[in-house]
A and B are shown apart, each in its own frame.
Chain A
């Protein structure tokens, strides 16, 4: 019985920090203020999605040479939660920073692969926005792209809070992200 009480007491204190679970190549962080789901997509998943939307082969080849990390962020607090992708830092297995491939970088790629305007637009809507002031009960989902990694890598994602970003920041660390199927 004492063990049960101890477990319950730990549960009470743990809900004030983060409850993190890893399942199916994705990690979930959940507390009363925020839900974040982070994972990665395999080249096969990416090729299937964009082929299904009639992207040309050159563009699919360009996409699958990179590494897509998907994210879903939900603000459960009354205050504003800021998603700012420049505050998401990726680190390689050796600790060196990993370059993120931004929207403007893709525009140059699409010129080379001759991707239509409609497909460029669709691609854009599948990406996380560079910046978003998430209101109460608002969620956002999409991909963020980094250079291909052969080894597992890490994400440290920080979120400012408050309309003027002066609130207590939240930080989430996700270890062992991979570009291929685990």
Chain B
């Protein structure tokens, strides 16, 4: 009797294990397949067509003017954000974390706040990323000309002023996968 019970339990346990294995395989098969063309770039970064970056001349929170055309010869990390956007709040500290690493390098990190007033921007950055400065697109028109795919959005402008990549949504820029991508850019 004791043996029979154990045998039945063993058989049932085996059946459950097989089913769980099937479930697990099905879940992983759906999530890990990647096209070969996408494997060279970190997740969420896609190539764009190399058209000219739109003009961008804006003032930062200290009143200093930035002109994108003056950054020719460098890659530009052009990041559009707003304080009310949840993913922006999560992503901004990761940008601050890498900013010092790329200071005076071949990559300029440029932030553009979309359509908010100085007080709102100052409060947000003071809390979330106090070392960062940002350009102010006070009426939102510059952002609309760039047509990002939502906020946050990051464009990569090459040293000739062409749009080369876009990061879809917020990305953890301080992780190795993304840091490696940025370092490769400036070695090109």
Contact = CB atoms under 8 A, between A and B. Distances in A.
| A-B complex is real | yes
B114 interface: yes
Contacts of A54: 117
Interface stretch (A94-102, A113-121, A147-155, A167-175): A113-121
Given A118-B140, A121-B140, A138 B33 contact: no
Contact of A125 (B22, B27, B46, B150): B150
A113 to B, nearest CB: 17
A32 B169 contact: no
Interface in B128-149: 138-141, 143-144, 149
Interface string B1-42: 000000000001001100110110011011101110010000
Nearest to A138: B168
Nearest to B29: A32
Given A15-B27, A138-B168, A139-B169, A121 B19 contact: no
Interface stretch (A3-11, A20-28, A38-46, A57-65): A3-11
Interface stretch (A85-93, A104-112, A128-136): A128-136
Using C-beta atoms within 8 Å of the partner chain, give the interface range for chain B: 35 or more
Contacts of A139: 169
B168 to A, nearest CB: 4
Interface residues of A, number: 37
Nearest to A133: B149
Contact of A137 (B30, B44, B138): B44
Contacts of A138: 44, 149, 168-169
Nearest to A7: B19
B90 interface: no
B116 A78 contact: no
Given A122-B82, A136-B38, A5 B19 contact: yes
Interface of A: 1, 4-5, 8-9, 11-12, 15, 31-33, 49, 52-54, 76, 78, 116-122, 124-126, 129, 132, 135-142
8 contacts: A5-B15, A8-B20, A32-B29, A117-B141, A125-B82, A125-B150, A138-B44, A138-B169
Given A15-B26, A122-B82, A136-B34, 20 more contacts: A5-B12, A8-B23, A12-B22, A15-B23, A32-B27, A33-B30, A53-B116, A76-B31, A78-B33, A116-B139, A117-B139, A117-B141, A118-B116, A121-B141, A121-B143, A122-B84, A122-B114, A124-B140, A124-B144, A137-B168
